[in-house]
Amino acid sequence: MTQRDPVWDVVKFLMMLWVVWGHVYSTGMTLMDSAWEPFVSNLKIAVNMPVFFMVSGYLSRRSLSEGGWGKILARSLSLFWPPFAFGVVFAVFIAFSEGWNLRLLAYPLERALVGGWFILTLASLYFASALAFKLAKTERSRWILLILWYLVMIVAPTFKVKQAMHMWPYFTFGLMVMPRWRLDKNAPLSLAFGALLVCTALFEGDTVSNGMNFWCVSSYWQDIVRDGHSIFCFFARSALGLTGSIFVLWLVGWALSRFKWVSSLAVFGTTTLGIYVLHEWVFGHLSVLPCFPLPSAWRMGVAVVSFFAFHFFVWGIRKNTIINFVFFGDEGKVASFADRILARFHH
């Protein structure tokens, strides 16, 4: 696959739409449940975040292989810039609506570093992979360093490292395996993975209590190895995320090869970072409002409308050079500046 094959952006669009749907649900905007709710929820838990991290790993390959430390540092910083920039705006909004206080000064930084687990996890995996790529020049030695990093995360007890631990297999698979994986040549295997995904989602019941939900897995390695069931769930969770993500990527690739119009959806996958940040801020404030009496079937409608509203808002920001710099920075200029600073230290 080429570096920017539309399959990656179409997948990002679909998965971010699913993220927005999930958070519409969590804000309490419905009073009715559907018989299919556990199945859809299981599917979301199984592949939503794993696909994101697998795609992120794949798209990071070029910058990690060819970019210098300046570019790597700039890419890491670019992940934190939008949460902080939008956080400043929301801090001002909160100040006008709820009153000024000193805590607002730390509010944007707190939300960027503590609230955005996805960004913090992605940045940590990207930077750890950068160390592996810069310290080792062969694929085998890189694999060794990445596995050692994984073992360190398993032993470490903190919540944020826990999320990196669970997302490591997907990011690393995308980074190290997907560049050589021909989805179009592995249709039977991908279909088998899809059957496994569907069967698991149908029969596993409630993901909150069945041990397959990475949010509910303990962060301590002693708990992971305490019994056979815990060990099984730990590795089965990663296996399901990997196989399910491969199926989703294959399915989107298959749709692109059969229906050319699907490629037009790729444009909606180019603003997912901004949508992720925006929807967290907005829905985070919606969650304090009274429950909206919306039927279950309306959830996806609310999610779709919200997603496209966020997309066009971010797209509008991107069209204006000054506003785009305020909210998203300039990765190229930051990389050049970092390279000059690093060059001085080197000499």
pLDDT of 89 reads 81
The residue among 132 and 224 whose pLDDT is bigger is 132
pLDDT of 339 reads 73
The residue among 224 and 139 whose pLDDT is bigger is 139
Place of tokens 């699913």: 18
The residue among 252 and 286 whose pLDDT is bigger is 252
pLDDT of 58 reads 93
Rounded to the nearest 10 degrees, how much is the dihedral formed by the CA atoms of 48, 52, 55, 58?
A: -130
The residue among 32 and 318 whose pLDDT is bigger is 318
CA atoms within 13 A on the CB side of 243: 19
* CA quadruple 173, 174, 178, 183: dihedral sign: positive
What is the tens place of the pLDDT at every residue in 50-104?
A: 999 999 999 998 888 887 888 888 888 888 888 888 888 877 777 776 666 666 6
Band of residue 189 on the pLDDT scale cut at 50, 70, 90: confident
pLDDT of 327 reads 87
Q: Are 169 and 129 in contact (CB under 8 A)?
A: no
Cβ partners under 8 Å of residue 89, min gap 6: none
Q: Which of 73, 89, 204 is nearest to 131 (CA)?
A: 73
What is the tens place of the pLDDT at every residue in 212-259?
A: 566 555 555 666 666 666 677 777 788 888 988 999 999 999 999 889
DSSP 292: P
Q: What is the largest CA-CA distance in the chain?
A: 66
What is the tens place of the pLDDT at every residue in 292-345?
A: 555 666 777 888 888 999 999 999 998 988 998 888 888 888 778 777 777 777
Band of residue 205 on the pLDDT scale cut at 50, 70, 90: low
Q: Across-strand partners of 30?
A: 294
The C-alpha R_g of the chain, in whole angstroms, comes to 21
Cβ partners under 8 Å of residue 314, min gap 6: 271, 274, 275, 278
Cβ partners under 8 Å of residue 119, min gap 6: 79, 80, 83, 112, 276
Tell me, yes or no, if the pTM score tops 0.95.
Answer: no
The beta strands (E) that lie in 5-139 are given as: none
Mean pLDDT of the chain: 79
pLDDT of 30 reads 46
pLDDT of 114 reads 61
In angstroms, the CA 347 to CA 315 distance is: 42
pLDDT of 31 reads 40
- Estimate the share of the chain in helix, then strand, then coil, as percent rounded to the nearest 5: 80, 0, 20
pLDDT of 225 reads 64
pLDDT of 1 reads 42
Q: What is the DSSP string of 244-291?
A: HHHHHHHHHHHHHHH-GGGGGGGGGGSSHHHHHHHHHHHHHHHTTSPP
